Structure 1
Amino acid sequence: MSTTDRRTLIVDAAIELIARRGIRALTHRALDTALELPPGSSSYYFRTKRALVEAIADRISSRSRGDFTAAGFAAPDAADLPAVAHGIAVWLDRLLLERRDHLIARHALIVDLIGDPELHARLANSLFSIDRARALFRANNFPDPDTTAADFIAVLEGAVFDRFAGNRSNLPAGTPASITQLTTLLSTYLRP
């Protein structure tokens, strides 16, 4: 296995460990155990917990940017707001289904890294593009598109959190009911 592959394997295991057992469970020893590696293996690749957390933040952020780009949302000047709400709901539902551990680990790290402005900002700004949200609200003549975009992202963050840890955590992703719930929420917010 190449060094890059081993590093990716360790980071993915760290994300899963945080999602399943919490941030305090993240240790080099726990990773070695989870991956059935000889003691000291994960610390060979990530000398400090900080280095490991940086790699986790990079992995989550880059995957989020990739997923957002791959979603291919329509240009904002031709926005049909009900279709936009549905498209974002489908995208969020897919994230909840396929990257649930990433979303949970991201939230745990956002809280844990409040005192670290650089890593905190990297994770806090990695769910939905603020620039894309501003463009959407400008194109649709919303008053104060900058504030509205920030509020919309707060709604998305809350919706995601609600689905993995809140009142709707029992609503399974990947179902028509999941997409309908998210579409209804976002459609309410996307009314000019």
Structure 2
Amino acid sequence: MAHQQRSVERRRGTSPEGTAARQELLLRSAIAVVGESGMRGLTHRAVDRAAGMPEGTCSVYYRTRLALLTALGSFVAAALHADVRALGAELPSPTDDAGVDRAVSATTQMLLRWSEHPDLIVTMSELVLEAARTPSLSEPIIAWRSDLIEVVDGIVCRTEQPGARLRAEAIVAALDGVVLSALLATSKSDRPAYLRRMVTLVLRGIIDADLHEYKLN
């Protein structure tokens, strides 16, 4: 999430060089707008103001609100997608309790990085809701979530528990709530301990659940 770790630049009277640089600035500024004002506050004019660019700039690159939302969804999903791939690459094979502990630690670190950028998390949450109303926005969101499910599925499979895919989907759904609750229910200093507790409970609880008891397998 390297490009998300930089703060939104507010360049009054100047413009970054090149189309790609301007588009990135506009989309990072759109994240800041959604984080502050919600999806209702996302307008071309608000993005221009947040980016410190002349009025009308955003509409040059994204002529309609749907075009802006589509680009924003792809941009945010790409940031999360990169982190998920990095998580998959660094995970050990959790064939025992120590392996699961390392998986918990790696997952916690990823969620901590996400929680350091609350505007990003708020924007993705808003985009998920928007995609439920506008299916054309769903493709990048589905793609990064599918990647995360695949990574978690790999963790569960290596524990040799049945119903790995179902467990993985349940874990990812639960982690959505964990990230949001970490932003709402904790201070920044308490967040690492909170996330580790929640990730441990979610991963171990769902991995160890008896699916037959719930008639899910």
Q: Which bracket does the TM-score occupy, shorter chain normalised?
A: 0.7 to 0.9
Which 5+ residue runs of structure 2 have no aligned equivalent?
A: 1-16, 209-217
The equivalent of 2:70 in structure 1 is 54
1:35-62 deviations in Å (ceiling 9; x for gaps): 3322211101111111111111111111
Partner of 1:135: 154
**Residue 162 (structure 1) aligned with residue 181 (structure 2):** yes
Q: Is the 8 A contact 1:110 1:124 kept in 2?
A: no
Answering whether residue 86 of structure 2 is matched by residue 73 of structure 1, we say no
Determine which of 101, 115, 125 is the counterpart of 1:82: 101
C-alpha separation in 2, matches of 1:60 and 1:35: 17
Query: How far apart are the structure 1 equivalents of 2:135 and 2:33?
Result: 24
- Corresponding position of 2:168: 149
Structure with larger Rg:
2
Q: More deviation in 16-25 or 36-45?
A: 36-45
Q: Distance in 2 between matches of 1:118 and 1:138?
A: 32
User: In structure 2, what is the Cα distance between the partners aligned to 1:188 and 1:31?
Assistant: 39
| Structural RMSD (CA) | 1.9
TM-score normalised by length of structure 1: 0.87
Query: Structure 1 residues 17, 142: closer, same or farther in 2, change over 3 A?
Result: same
Higher relative contact order structure (alpha carbons within 8 Å, sequence separation ≥ 6): 1
Give structure 1 stretches of 5+ with no counterpart: none
- More deviation, 37-46/1-10: 37-46
- Give the Cα separation in 2 of the matches to 1:32 and 1:56: 14
Distance in 2 (CA, whole Å) between partners of 1:110 and 1:148 is 21
1:184 Cα shift?
1.6
Deviates more, 1:3-12 or 1:122-131: 122-131
Distance 2:156 2:104 in 1: 13
Equivalent in the alignment of 1:112: 130
- The aligned length equals 185
Identity of paired residues, percent? 22
TM score, norm. by length of structure 2: 0.78
